[in-house]
């Protein structure tokens, strides 16, 4: 049975009715996923929601009989966003028989990636990590399913172009970012598109943790960019909102990376944030079949993996997106190649995913041996005071340009 295809029909009685399936699933060898996350330092406003979503999906999958009777097990460990601890987490879980990993941190992902490649294990890299890893010809064991930061930034530029009459000549676009690998990641593609489209690109680096942005916004006030694209996290958006007001920059010209959630909006102020834009890779809210299923079959029965407030956070939806694709890949792998599930069969499972959207939580993805990203579509949304309103359909723009940069960058990668 294809997982999640029947979501709309799941009833509240599913937990009781499927109890026997859960018991039988526990009798077979599990499918193990290693979640080496930052649960104590920089990403604590993201990682708990993603980990909770992964654990909820595992529970729901096991209630439905697992993957061909094999239970799904999510092993969660903390790396504190420290590359060396991430490497240690990888090595420890590898010794415990795990061969599917997700680090949810660009610095840690970059540190672990060469080891994963040499070991021929699976590295999930959705929504983080190096953008050229979508090149499956080079990064055979890495799966950044969903839009990379390069593609998301390119899609932001495409949106700005439509807002400016399809002509970016003489336009100025600012890029304000945390000055470490996560924030620096889109710069290369932005410079490439600046040359192609004729706009001036102004860079505004911000030191971590983002509490001091006064210098950057003073420059923005002087430069008067038409739009500002922001690659910051959490409290960085709150500080930016205050600087936007102080420097009288139009908030509806501020486009955030996807890492802005309901907590950030509340901290900015629901009224103050009206007009702010974000590029997003998943649909937010709870009016989505997969989220409704978690609420109705797990949380309504007191069986959720954490506080229900996390389910009402867009970062939880991202966790559902990432791990529903991974579980679907495992299902395909076992269906096509039988048990035991191996890294090689899991790789083939990923590369067989076609037009999969996990019940509408994201744009449909199709993964191939060449494209491990699945299409790279995002959409632009705007905060209206109560909710995020989509301004565009799911789109992937400048694909030819992005893939030229991907090919150039990935050709330089070597394990030696």
The Cα 405–Cα 188 span in angstroms is 8
pLDDT number for residue 19: 41
- Please list the pLDDT of the chain residue by residue as tens digits (416 residues): 455 544 433 332 333 334 434 444 457 999 999 999 999 998 898 999 999 999 999 999 999 999 999 999 999 999 999 999 999 999 999 999 999 999 999 889 999 999 999 999 999 999 888 899 999 999 999 999 999 999 999 999 999 999 999 999 999 999 999 998 889 999 999 999 999 999 999 999 999 889 999 999 999 999 999 999 999 988 999 999 999 999 999 999 999 999 999 999 999 999 999 999 999 999 988 999 999 999 999 999 999 999 999 999 999 999 999 999 999 999 999 999 999 999 999 999 999 999 999 989 999 999 999 999 999 999 999 999 999 999 999 999 999 999 999 999 999 999 87
Residues 72/30, Cβ–Cβ less than 8 Å: yes
* Pairing state between β 122-124 and 379-383: unpaired
DSSP state, residue 395: B
Distance CA 303, CA 16 (A): 12
Cα–Cα distance between 87 and 255 in angstroms, integer? 34
Q: Taking a C-beta distance cutoff of 8 angstroms, is the pair 308, 286 a contact?
A: no
Among 203, 218, 110, smallest CA distance to 153 is for 203
Q: Across 232-314, where does the E strand assignment appear?
A: 254-256, 277-280
CATH hierarchy code of domain 150-280+380-410 = 3.40.50.2300
What pLDDT is stored for residue 341 in this prediction? 98
Per-residue confidence (pLDDT) for residue 136, from 0 to 100 = 97
CA distances from 118 to 57, 88, 121, 133, 330 (A): 30, 16, 8, 15, 21
Helices vs. strands in the chain: H and E counts, helices first: 15, 12
- Tell me, yes or no, if the two domains 7-147+284-375 and 150-280+380-410 fold the same way: yes
349 burial type by CB count under 10 A (0-12 exposed, 13-18 middle, 19+ buried): buried
Residue 67 pairs in a beta bridge with 70
Strands 379-383 vs 277-280: parallel, antiparallel or unpaired: antiparallel
- How crowded is residue 279: how many other Cβ atoms within 10 Å of its Cβ? 25
pTM score of the predicted model: 0.90
Q: Where are the domains of the chain?
A: 7-147+284-375, 150-280+380-410
Q: Is the dihedral of CA 79, 83, 86, 92 positive or negative?
A: negative
CATH number of 7-147+284-375: 3.40.50.2300
């Amino acid at each position: 049975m294809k997982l999640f295809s029947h979501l709309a029909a799941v009833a509240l009685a599913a937990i009781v009715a499927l109890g026997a399936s859960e018991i039988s699933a526990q009798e077979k060898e599990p499918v193990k996923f290693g979640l080496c996350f930052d649960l104590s330092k920089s990403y604590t406003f993201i990682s708990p929601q993603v980990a909770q979503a992964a654990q909820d999906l595992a529970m729901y999958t096991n209630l439905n009989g697992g993957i061909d009777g094999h239970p799904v097990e999510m092993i969660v460990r903390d790396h504190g966003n420290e590359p060396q601890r991430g490497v240690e987490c990888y090595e420890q879980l590898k010794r415990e028989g795990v061969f599917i990993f997700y680090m949810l941190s660009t610095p840690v992902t970059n540190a672990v990636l060469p080891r994963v490649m040499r070991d021929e294990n699976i590295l999930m890299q959705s929504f983080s990590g190096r953008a050229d890893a979508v090149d499956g010809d080079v990064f055979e064991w890495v799966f950044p399913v969903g839009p990379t930061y390069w593609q998301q930034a390119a899609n932001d530029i495409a949106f700005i172009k439509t807002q400016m009459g399809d002509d970016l000549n003489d336009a100025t676009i600012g890029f304000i970012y945390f000055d470490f690998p996560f924030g620096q990641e889109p710069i290369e593609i932005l410079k490439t598109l600046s040359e192609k489209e004729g706009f001036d690109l102004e860079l505004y680096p911000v030191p971590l943790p983002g509490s001091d942005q006064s210098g950057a916004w003073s420059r923005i006030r002087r430069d008067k960019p038409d739009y500002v694209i922001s690659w910051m996290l959490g409290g960085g958006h709150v500080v930016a909102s205050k600087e936007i007001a102080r420097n009288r920059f139009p908030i509806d010209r501020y486009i955030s990376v996807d890492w802005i959630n309901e907590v950030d909006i509340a901290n900015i102020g629901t009224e103050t944030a009206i007009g702010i834009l974000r590029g997003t890779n998943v649909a937010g809210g709870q009016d989505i079949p997969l989220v409704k299923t978690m609420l109705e079959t797990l949380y309504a029965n007191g069986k959720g993996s954490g506080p229900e407030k996390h389910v009402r956070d867009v970062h939880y939806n991202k966790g559902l997106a990432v791990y529903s694709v991974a579980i679907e890949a495992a299902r395909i792998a076992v269906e096509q190649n039988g048990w035991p599930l191996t890294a090689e069969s899991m790789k083939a499972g990923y590369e067989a995913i076609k037009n999969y959207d996990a019940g509408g939580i994201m744009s449909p993805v199709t993964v191939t041996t060449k494209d491990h990203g699945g299409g790279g579509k995002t959409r632009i949304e705007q905060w209206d005071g109560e909710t995020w309103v989509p301004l565009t359909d799911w789109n992937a723009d400048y694909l030819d340009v992005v893939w030229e940069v991907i090919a150039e960058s990935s050709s330089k990668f070597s394990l030696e």
